[in-house]
Amino acid sequence: MATSDTAASTASVDSSSAQASSASTHDTQGGEQTYRDFAAWVAAFRQEAANAGIDEVTLAAAFDQVSFQPRIIELDRSQPEFSRPVWAYLDTAVSEQRVRQGRAKLDAHRDAAIRAENRYAVPAEILTAIWGVESNYGSYFGHFSTINALATLGFEGRRQDFARHELLAALKILQSGDIDRDHMRGSWAGAMGHTQFLPSSFLAYAVDADGDGRRDIWGSIDDVMASTAHYLEEAGWQAGQPWGTEVILPDDFDYSQTELAVRHSSAAWRAQGVTAREGTLPTFDAASVIAPAGARGPAFLVGPNFRAIMRYNASTSYALAVVTLAERIAGGDGIQGDWPREVEPLSRTQVKDMQGRLNALGFSTGGPPDGIVGPNTRKGLRAFQRSQGMTADGFPTPALLDSVREASAR
């Protein structure tokens, strides 16, 4: 999901938050009081949007038939107990069927993809891969009304200010005439079109590449390809550079360096014994080594273009899916190393238990337990592993949780 880093001021709209009650005070099934409160919130937001420059014709089109969507609140609140391991995500995102479809889609729309590549220097295969991962090449980019979704989330979602900001951006898109309300559809969270732009990203990066006077990421593949390429260019895409490469790490490698925040030149990584699985290391001034499944899984040297893709979606698994799918579409083999598929993922409850025990043992995970494995949790895990004479890769497993529990019981 593309997210904009250029956030316009939402002060005039945020004042409407006073009209919204917290999520805990509402009946998400859409009780009568909820609908009355929602109507009052819409009225307040409508006035604030008018003060921000949205004309009455657009406001009427957007809000005269707006409706509260209980299902969207359910989706917003749901947090899966188990997260998918990276290899399971890649199995779906880079399936053989998706590779075949990607090659066929690129063949069918090669002219549009090459025009975007020539203009923004982002390879056609990368653009096609983002299209594939975001919406399965347009076969499903969501059926929710963007206005209804963002109004619902602005009224009662977990990130109300964010949703109100995106709703104002959506109104600006309607006012510009790029799309009408009925056709402005996408995910429950407000992402739109073939490559899932949020409204603020649309305003910042969408391009009318086919010259019809509209930026149409729902119906024009020319516009889709150019808009996606423009986003990546602005995110720091460097022409002519690879995203990175799969690497082999030496047995004594310090896994505390496997964080995106740690950056060295390719020469410095080479001096530590990092080698390319195939060929030679690409030349980077500032590259990171990542090992998404710890010491037992594949490792990668990634450069600025990998980071640009993560500006589109801040997930290592997502960026790996995009670059791997792009390589497969281009005829490459994809990831060669083996994933530790026998390892069961920890649940959020298990991760919270592990974090609490690590904190109590003096191996800080950066704060109170939240069930999310991030850099601070990995740092605490590595410190614990070192204390136990283990390979300190920071990768949480059921066996490692058992070791933490045993240590905390002593």
Q: Which residues are catalytic?
A: 134
How far is the first Cα of the chain from the last one, in angstroms, to the nearest whole number? 46
Residue 69: what are its φ and ψ, rounded to 5°?
-120, 95
The torsion angles phi and psi of 51, rounded to 5 degrees, stand at -65, -25
Q: Are strands 244-248 and 275-276 parallel, antiparallel or unpaired?
A: antiparallel
Cα dihedral sign, 160-165-171-174: negative
Residue 300's DSSP bridge partners are: 246, 290
Q: Of 111, 113, 121, give the one whose Cα is nearest residue 195.
A: 113
Helix (H) or strand (E) holding 185: strand 185-186
**Would you state the structure tokens that stand for residue 70, as one six-digit string?**
């209980």
| CB 306, CB 323: distance < 8 Å | yes
Alpha-carbon gap, residue 283 to 288, rounded angstroms: 12
